[in-house]
Amino acid sequence: MKILTVLTYYRPHTSGLTIYAERLARAFAQRGHQVTVMTTQYDPSLPREEAMDGVKVIRIPVAARVSKGVLAPTFGFVATKLVLQHDVIQLHLPQFDAPGVALRGRLFGKPAVLTYHCDLQLPSGLFNRFVNMVVDFQNNLAGMLANHIVTYTQDYADNSPYLSRYASKLTPILPPVELPSPLPGAVEAFAKEHHVKERRPVIGMVTRFASEKGVEVLLDALPTILKKYPNAQVLYAGQHKNVMGEEAYFDRLYPKIREYEQSGHWTFLGNLTPLQLSAVYPNLDVLTVPSLNSTEAFGLVQIEAMMNGVPCVASALPGVRQPVTMHGMGRVAQIGDSASLAESILEVLNEPQKFQGDIEAIRKAYNPDSIAQEYEKLFAKLMG
């Protein structure tokens, strides 16, 4: 099968969406399919074409940026050629160019499947409100033109204004999650470098620094946590500086974070590779995902943590609450409520034995090969 995957950002850009797309594309390739990823050359230093893990990546030059999106004038021309060359199209939304690609699928008789990752909610402001309206319009066009839509969980679909319109052509498929095994001695070396034995418990947060991630909720919860555990520390993995569109958000929160950095209660680890992260997770006592709006639909890092036996505390957002609810490894806190987050984290830290799960079953459920098989069944059905 020749599969064309289309999305705005791909590796080396890091987000839950790009990680999902990469894992699935790689799993398709490993199962013998011919996979092409069409994306944008958001960084001019990136090659226009390259092969990554058996996947052909084609990047379209960018002429301008609009908020977190890009304008690529030749996108449609290249899409026409690639749609004709492939059997099925997989589009990752939100994506401005998705309707045009889905329309080409209709015209050329190639099934188009949307993987809908989240409802887009940009920060407040007149311009961002306009961008939201444009993206919503484009997403709805894509939804009408696509043959089918995939989402992570039925919980998120039931609560998404977008997905509720397309219930008749919707299938929930769990996201692909995998982590490499850490290098010999890497877990112990990380523990030594970050004084894990002396500064426990360790609270992890693994995400880019963005306003929808709820970093301030964890910041406001820390005084309560430190009152019970004076040596607790936060290890924050993910890009925190120069995140596109989030510079003002970081500047607003950093003065308070700097105080915790200086006292040894907060450490930025930077943007880590999956191999590096595999040494971080075993050193955590709890992972938190205090996200604030429906831009977050699941929180893949929760599954990565659970695969390492680490319980999680997530906000009560639809979809985001599902990993904890399904697997019993943690607690759900009220959205944007620092007191509830602190209480939930303390409950997990006080009685960790209550939040152990079936790690092998979790690994099997989210194995990329298993997820690729679910997509294959859907593709075959649509191709008739």
Q: What is the 3-state secondary structure (H, E, C) of the chain?
A: CEEEEECCCCCCCCCHHHHHHHHHHHHHHHCCCEEEEEEEECCCCCCCEEEECCEEEEEEECCEEECCEEECCCHHHHHHHHHHHCCEEEEEECCCCHHHHHHHHHHHCCCEEEEECCCCCCCCCHHHHHHHHHHHHHHHHHHHHCCEEEECCHHHHHHCCCHHHHHHHEEECCCCCCCCCCCCCHHHHHHHHCCCCCCCCEEEEECCCCHHHCHHHHHHHHHHHHHHCCCCEEEEECCCCCCCCCHHHHHHHHHHHHHHHHCCCEEEEECCCHHHHHHHHHHCCEEEECCCCCCCCCCHHHHHHHHCCCCEEEECCCCCCHHHHHHCCEEEECCCCHHHHHHHHHHHHHCHHHHCCCHHHHHHHCCHHHHHHHHHHHHHHHHC
Q: Span 157-169, mean pLDDT?
A: 92
pLDDT confidence of residue 294 = 82
pLDDT confidence of residue 308 = 96
CA distances to 6, 44, 350 from 56, rounded to whole Å, are: 12, 18, 48
Q: Residue 74: pLDDT band by 50, 70, 90 thresholds?
A: very high
What is the average pLDDT score of the chain? Answer: 93
At 365-380, the pLDDT tens digits run 999 999 999 999 999 9
Distance CA 381, CA 384 (A): 5
Q: Give the CATH class of 2-176+367-383.
A: alpha beta
Q: Say if residue 301's pLDDT is above 70.
A: yes
Q: Residue 118: pLDDT band by 50, 70, 90 thresholds?
A: confident
Closest of 252, 297, 284 to residue 348, by C-alpha:
284
Residue range(s) in the chain whose domain bears CATH number 3.40.50.2000: 2-176+367-383, 186-364
At 306-358, the pLDDT tens digits run 999 999 999 999 999 999 999 999 999 999 999 999 999 999 999 999 999 99
Contact between residue 164 and residue 145 where contact means Cβ atoms under 8 Å apart: no
The more confidently predicted of residues 365 and 68 is 365
The more confidently predicted of residues 136 and 207 is 207
Q: Say if residue 131's pLDDT is above 80.
A: no
Question: Cα angle vertex 35, ends 32, 40, to 5°?
Answer: 160
CA atoms within 13 A on the CB side of 25: 28
Structure-block tokens of residue 326: 């399904």
**Any idea which of 12-26, 129-143, 273-287 has the lowest mean pLDDT?**
129-143
Q: Residue 128: pLDDT band by 50, 70, 90 thresholds?
A: low
Burial of 171 (0-12, 13-18, 19+ CB in 10 A): middle
Distance CA 297, CA 319 (A): 5
Distance CA 204, CA 34 (A): 38
The more confidently predicted of residues 202 and 244 is 202
The more confidently predicted of residues 130 and 182 is 182
Distance CA 17, CA 67 (A): 17
Q: Say if residue 139's pLDDT is above 90.
A: no
Question: pTM value?
Answer: 0.86
Q: What is the signed CA dihedral for 210, 368, 179, 366, rounded to 10 degrees? A: 80
Question: Cα angle vertex 307, ends 210, 347, to 5°?
Answer: 70
Domain 186-364 has CATH 3.40.50.2000: yes
pLDDT confidence of residue 142 = 93
Distance CA 286, CA 302 (A): 10
